[in-house]
Amino acid sequence: MNTIRIAVAGPRGRMGVEALRLIERTPHFQLVAAVDRTNGGKLISDIDGLPSLAAPIYEDLNVCLSEVQVDVLLDLTTPEIGKNHVYIALEHGVRSVIGTTGFTEQELRDLEAAAKEKGVGTIIAPNFAIGAILMMKFAQMAAKYFQDVEIIELHHDQKLDAPSGTAVKTVDLIRSVREPKKQGHPNESEQLQGARGAEVDGIHIHSVRLPGLIAHQEVLFGGDGQMLTVRHDSFNRVSFMSGVQLAVETVMKVDGLVYGLENIVD
Ligand SMILES: NC(=O)C1=CN([C@@H]2O[C@H](COP(=O)(O)OP(=O)(O)OC[C@H]3O[C@@H](n4cnc5c(N)ncnc54)[C@H](O)[C@@H]3O)[C@@H](O)[C@H]2O)C=CC1
Ligand SMILES: O=C(O)C1=N[C@H](C(=O)O)C[C@H](O)C1
């Protein structure tokens, strides 16, 4: 397999560090640069706690992509930064894998159009964990038979976006097979604002943020005298890495935007 030259944005983050370890142990991956909020001019190996990789750190993705030959940008930053980075990569004709979450439906549509126009492979993966992808697919299957569904997503308390990218993607998949339906009592009202969570086409989404959690989601389906729960738990961030590897390998072969690893997992 040809070597894939990767730049990681967000190398000191919880996901970024794991991604550096993945690159270090994967023979056909090479870290050629990193983009950080600080530490410009240093090497990754200069930073305490990071793998000993001699890749230069940039504070500006534009400069990085002008100076370094990069095959794939792997973005694991924050919602605002990730959205900028994907467009900068497109301008440079560089493929990207975006693990960063927080994209709205409109932003995804705009990005799809931009990636198509540029003809540059781009993967947005709201969740890299294979189990989470299956959980979403199982939920999509179940939604054909159960129209009443609520999502509870649970994450660590440092997460910036709510609902999670996984919950947004799950709703997207369920909506593809389920007609909009108002759930609950027709006259229900919230005595406390937010008590019923967020709502899309009648699907309620509840976001829990607590220290100690990593990434978890339950999709609850209710029917006459029965309930089906589909649940996935990530207990560490290694759980995401096989999906990161698959996305980086696959983005080398696709044109335009792929939104969600369920589109590339057989
Ligand atoms: N797709 C998936 O499977 C997963 C996605 N995520 C998403 O990935 C993103 C990162 O998550 P975590 O690693 O937990 O967050 P984190 O907060 O630990 O890391 C984010 C990193 O981005 C860096 N950063 C901020 N501004 C930057 C800039 N201008 N340039 C370069 N780096 C910058 C921060 O310094 C920080 O090190 C989030 O959006 C999260 O929702 C997280 C886990 C799994
Ligand atoms: O911020 C996180 O941690 C996670 N973010 C992604 C999301 O928003 O769904 C994926 C996973 O749930 C972990």
Cβ 123 vs Cβ 250: under 8 Å: yes
What is the DSSP secondary structure assignment for residue 184, as one 8-state letter?
S
Cβ 86 vs Cβ 98: under 8 Å: yes
**In one letter, which amino acid is 216?**
H
The H-assigned helical ranges of 26-161 are 61-67, 79-91, 105-118, 130-143
User: In which residue ranges of the chain is pLDDT below 70?
Assistant: none
Rounded Cα distance between 235 and 257, Å, is: 29
Closest CA to 29 of 97, 125, 101: 97
Instruction: Name the pTM for this structure.
Output: 0.97
What is the DSSP secondary structure assignment for residue 260, as one 8-state letter?
S
Pocket probe mutation, ligand 2, options 15, 17, 127, 235, max atoms within 8 Å of Cβ: 127
* 166 CA closest ligand 2 atom index: 9
Ligand that lies nearest to the alpha carbon of residue 166, given by its number in the listed order: 2
Q: Is residue 159 annotated as part of the catalytic site, yes or no?
A: yes
Percent of the chain with pLDDT over 90: 99
How far does residue 159's CA lie from ligand 1's centre (Å)?
A: 9
Cβ 163 vs Cβ 254: under 8 Å: no
Pocket probe mutation, ligand 1, options 12, 36, 77, max atoms within 8 Å of Cβ: 77
What are 19's strand-pairing partners?
none
What is the pLDDT, as a whole number, of residue 266? 78
Rounded Cα distance between 160 and 156, Å, is: 10
220-230 per-position pLDDT tens digit: 999 999 999 99
What is the pLDDT, as a whole number, of residue 39? 97
What is the pLDDT, as a whole number, of residue 1? 81
96-132 per-position pLDDT tens digit: 999 999 999 999 999 999 999 999 999 999 999 999 9
Rounded Cα distance between 127 and 163, Å, is: 13
Please state the φ and ψ torsions of residue 67, each to the nearest 5 degrees.
Answer: -100, -25
Cβ 18 vs Cβ 74: under 8 Å: no
Rg (CA), the chain: 19
